[in-house]
């Protein structure tokens, strides 16, 4: 007997339909189907651009010839690029360290404030994180730019000589890190606070009964429980901070004499500014191995702790 609409034998049709149903009913099939848009997105927005930028970095300046690793060779011999590597590492590592420390302290302070007060303070402390960084950095520039800034105005009125904050290498590096810490610390705070809220109060109560001091509670309860969150947030923040562009571009544009230049600003300068897109790609790709090293060490620690906890 044939199916009236398709003309297929009914038995064959029912076998096929049930196979299809089985396939559709399998959890893995559904999960895979639902992930297809995500795979497409990752392929289009991450994998393809990554390989395309590797390809670009091996082209000549006018993108007409394949020159292999010449761009990388040149960068490794360039004194300016050595400065860029040093400054990028200094900027990212120092900024992330202070963001983590300040975020950790703020999270504990917040955790010990209760009720409405905590909501108010939490909201206020999140303000730097929700303002677009280009705007807030401009505000910082007005406060610290050399000749006419608010901070120098105060110094002069206190009888202290104005400081050209962004024209001296040490101070310029200091301020780009400060602005990054100011912007990023609230993220750490909110991540740590969320984790702290999940720690059972009984642990702290028991520690208090045993006579533990505040520092001991942090050392023996908070830190071990927060370790994985700290690692993941540090890794996440390292990635974002290494790729930071707007803070340095607005505050110093790499000055004085390229001593505040980081990977992103230098890649922009040579790639878009000087019209050398292959070299710009090569500069930006240098972030990848550096971040890979950080990621390997951090994620190895996370995995080890997860295995131990199981």
Q: Which residue stretch of 54-62, 107-115, 119-127, 288-296 sits at the interface with another protein (rule: CB under 8 A)?
A: 54-62
Residue 53 binds to another protein (criterion: CB under 8 A): no
Output the six-digit token pair for 211.
Answer: 């006579």
Q: Which is nearer to another protein, 110 or 277 (CB)?
A: 277
Q: Single out the residue of 235, 206, 271, 301 nearest to residue 92, CA to CA.
A: 235
**In the complex, least distance from residue 238 CB atom to another protein, rounded to whole angstroms:** 24
Q: Does 57 bind another protein (CB under 8 A)?
A: no
Options 13-21, 116-124, 217-225, 264-272: segment touching another protein (CB under 8 A): 264-272
Residues sharing a CB contact under 8 Å with residue 147, sequence separation 6 or more, in sequence order: 162, 164
Q: Does 79 bind another protein (CB under 8 A)?
A: yes
**Which residue in 120, 100, 101 sits closest to 110, CA to CA?**
120
Binding status of residue 60 toward another protein by CB under 8 A: yes
The rounded distance, in Å, linking the Cα atoms of 304 and 10 is 56
Residue span 105-134 as binding mask against another protein, x where in contact by CB under 8 A, dash where not: -----------------------------x
For 97, phi and psi rounded to 5 degrees? Answer: -60, -50
Kindly tell me which residue out of 62, 160, 216, 288 binds another protein, with binding defined by CB under 8 A.
62
Least distance between another protein and beta carbon 212 (Å): 50
In angstroms, give the least distance from the CB of 63 to another protein. Answer: 9
Instruction: Pick the binder of another protein from 164, 232, 240, 301 (CB under 8 A).
Output: 164
Whose Cβ is closer to another protein: residue 49's or residue 200's? 49
How many residues sit close enough to another protein to count as binding (CB under 8 A)?
44
Task: Mark the segment that binds another protein (CB under 8 A) among 22-30, 210-218, 262-270, 298-306.
Answer: 262-270
Q: Which residues bind another protein (CB under 8 A)?
A: 60-62, 71, 74, 77-80, 134, 145-148, 162-169, 172, 246, 249-250, 252-258, 268-277, 279
């Amino acid at each position: 007997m044939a199916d009236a609409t398709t003309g297929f034998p009914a038995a064959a049709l029912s076998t096929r339909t049930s196979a299809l149903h089985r396939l559709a009913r399998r959890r893995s099939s559904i999960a895979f189907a639902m992930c297809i848009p995500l795979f497409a997105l990752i392929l289009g927005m991450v994998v393809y651009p990554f390989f395309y930028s590797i390809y670009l970095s091996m082209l000549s300046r006018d993108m007409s010839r394949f020159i292999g690793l010449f761009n990388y060779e040149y960068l490794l011999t360039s004194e300016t690029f050595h400065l860029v590597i040093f400054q990028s590492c200094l900027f990212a590592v120092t900024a992330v360290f202070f963001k983590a420390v300040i975020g950790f302290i703020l999270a504990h302070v917040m955790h010990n404030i209760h009720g409405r007060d905590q909501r108010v303070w939490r909201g206020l402390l999140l303000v730097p994180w929700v303002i677009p960084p280009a705007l807030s950095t401009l505000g910082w520039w007005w406060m610290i730019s050399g000749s006419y800034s608010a901070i120098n105005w105060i110094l002069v009125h206190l009888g202290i000589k104005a400081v050209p904050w962004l024209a001296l290498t040490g101070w310029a590096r200091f301020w780009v890190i400060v602005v990054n810490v100011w912007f990023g610390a609230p993220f750490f705070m909110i991540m740590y606070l969320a984790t702290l809220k999940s720690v059972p109060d009984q642990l702290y109560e028991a520690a208090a009964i045993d006579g533990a001091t505040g520092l001991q509670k942090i050392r023996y309860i908070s830190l071990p429980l927060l370790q994985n969150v700290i690692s993941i947030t540090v890794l996440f923040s390292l990635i974002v901070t290494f790729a930071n562009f707007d803070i340095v571009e607005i505050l110093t544009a790499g000055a004085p004499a390229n001593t505040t230049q980081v990977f992103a600003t230098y890649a922009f300068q040579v790639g878009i500014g000087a019209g050398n897109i292959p070299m710009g790609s090569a500069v930006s790709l240098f972030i990848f191995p550096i971040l890979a090293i950080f990621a390997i060490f951090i994620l190895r620690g996370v995995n080890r702790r997860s295995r131990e906890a199981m």
